[in-house]
């Protein structure tokens, strides 16, 4: 996210009505995970959940869903002074390409505070709904921290950090909670990182993403939240963001058309057969 007297389209912060709700969820700090008494083989767990995450990434390509992004820029007292909202239907083509159909986009007032950058768009699509597959684990240093519940779900907790930053790519850095029964990520807490151009002043918020079991098999992202201060060189900027993912529906990208037998039409000069009289 870049500050140029405009708001970086960071991710998604919620609107005033949501911000004033005393019952709203708060991004929880990473609590210390406790080591399990039972013997744990971290490498085996990593291999299992990475394979399961790869299955999920493939299955997710067959689902459509609605994504709502809400962002607020806040003044020093925490009152909203600029907002952004975008509601989109997300679909995936048969070759796995992500397509976004905008269904609601009121006039934004965030542009007076922050500017959305390509990095923010990448984060919204790929980092906040973080998936760590067997194809990606070689890019990260993954360290087992112990066991801890995420709500009432017993989980293995890992710290995740990219080994190196490759230009043009965005990465996740933080902690993940992996269900010890389904071996899937159910909670993510951290921030997006990447290589920036020299002298570029971009800042990205710390966020929390929660998943829910949607189809009885896989855990899908349903909620991303951040309440953070972005420390730009000239001025800190408070922001809130809320992204929801809902209305998941399975979409079969391939269709098979079955044809019946070819029916020949009678020739014009061919005499019609008279029906037999009883």
Residue-level pLDDT at 146 = 97
Q: Is residue 260 part of a domain?
A: no
- pLDDT attached to residue 35: 59
Assess contact for 67 and 245: CB atoms under 8 A. Answer: yes
The residues, ordered by sequence, that sit 6+ positions from 258 with a Cβ below 8 Å of its Cβ are none
- What's the confidence (pLDDT) of residue 278? 47
Whether residue 230 lies inside any domain: the answer is yes
Within-domain flag for 120: yes
Does 268 fall in a domain?
Answer: no
CA 132 from chain center: how many Å?
12
Domains in the chain: how many in total? 1
Distance (Å, rounded) from C-alpha 135 to C-alpha 122?
19
pLDDT at position 94: 72
Domain assignment present for residue 257? The answer is no
Closest CA to 90 of 274, 272, 251: 251
Residue 277 lies in a domain: no
Tell me the residue range of the domain where 121 lies: 6-25+36-249
The pLDDT value recorded for residue 115 is 82
* SS3 sequence of 77-127: CCCEEEEEEEEEEEEECCCCCEEEEEEECCCCCHHHCEECCHHHHHHHHHH
What's the pLDDT score for residue 61? 84
Residue 167, token pair as written in the block: 């230009």
Cα 247 to Cα 19: distance, rounded to the nearest angstrom: 23
Domain-embedded: residue 121: yes
Q: What is the dihedral of CA 78, 24, 26, 208, to 10 degrees?
A: -110
Mean pLDDT of each 10-residue bin along the chain, 278 residues long: 43 41 46 63 97 95 92 92 93 75 93 87 94 97 97 96 96 98 97 90 95 94 97 93 95 52 51 51
Query: So what's the pLDDT on residue 97?
Result: 75
Q: What is the pLDDT of residue 18?
A: 47
1 assigned to some structural domain = no
Q: What is the pTM of this model?
A: 0.78
Per-residue tokens: 89: 């239907």
What pLDDT was estimated at residue 38?
Answer: 61
CA–CA gap between residue 55 and residue 185 (Å, rounded): 12
């Amino acid at each position: 996210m870049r500050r140029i007297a405009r708001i970086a389209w960071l991710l998604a912060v919620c609107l005033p009505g949501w911000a004033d709700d005393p019952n709203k969820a708060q991004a929880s700090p990473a609590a210390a995970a406790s080591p399990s008494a039972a013997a744990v083989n971290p490498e085996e767990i990593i291999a299992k959940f990475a394979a399961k995450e790869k299955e999920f990434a493939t299955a997710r390509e067959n689902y459509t869903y609605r994504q709502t992004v809400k962002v607020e820029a806040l003044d020093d007292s925490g009152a909203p002074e600029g907002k952004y909202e975008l509601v989109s239907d997300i679909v995936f083509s048969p070759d796995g390409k992500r397509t976004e159909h905008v269904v609601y986009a009121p006039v934004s007032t965030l542009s007076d505070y922050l500017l959305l950058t390509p990095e923010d768009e990448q984060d919204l699509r790929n980092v906040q709904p973080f998936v760590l597959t067997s194809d990606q684990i070689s890019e990260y240093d993954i360290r087992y921290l112990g066991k801890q519940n995420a709500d009432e779900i017993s989980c293995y907790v890992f710290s995740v950090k990219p080994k190196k930053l490759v230009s043009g790519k965005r990465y996740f850095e933080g902690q993940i909670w992996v269900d010890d029964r389904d071996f899937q990520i159910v909670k993510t807490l951290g921030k997006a990182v990447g290589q920036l151009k020299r002298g570029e002043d971009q800042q990205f918020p710390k966020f929390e993403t929660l998943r829910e079991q949607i189809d009885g098999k896989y855990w899908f992202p349903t909620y991303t939240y951040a309440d953070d201060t972005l420390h730009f060189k000239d001025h800190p900027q408070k922001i809130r963001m809320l992204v929801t993912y809902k209305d998941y529906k399975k979409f079969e990208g391939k269709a098979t058309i079955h044809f019946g037998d070819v029916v020949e039409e009678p020739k014009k000069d061919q005499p019609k057969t008279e029906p037999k009289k009883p």
